[in-house]
Amino acid sequence: MPLIKLDMLEGRTENEIRQILDVTHDVMVRNFQVPERDRYQIVSQHKPYEMIIQDTGLGFERSEKMLVFTITSRERKQEHKQKFYQELTEELEAKCGIAPNDVMVSFMINGDDDWSFGFGEAQFLTGKL
């Protein structure tokens, strides 16, 4: 865990999506010290009329390359999240050509009892994780 849900407009290739997911995972591992195989990513693609993602009055535009990350996770330190935001946008721009204004991230915080990775168990509570 964390669980990353990524919403984007339709039209990217499989390789483009894989590269976005790989960059995201690398930044996640580096900033939150999650294990390499702690990778849970779900992509949803939408028609343009299904996503309205504005700027909350900050005065910038978004393009058809916009990405919305919803990250469900345990509590993370504020400074780690801020570094994650910065590195994610920098690497997505450098490796995927996605402008920083096209990246939106929202964390949803939950606890150990909110996770079951299978077998009907809460592995954080049973001590298996």
Q: What ranges make up the beta strands (E) of the chain?
A: 3-9, 40-46, 67-73, 103-109
Q: How far is residue 101's CA from residue 7's CA, in Å, rounded to a whole number?
A: 15
Q: Per the residue annotation, which of 2, 35, 48, 100 is the catalytic one?
A: 2
Structure tokens at 111: 């606890």
Residue 48 appears among annotated catalytic residues: no
Q: Tokens in use for 116? A: 């079951």
Catalytic (active-site) positions: 2
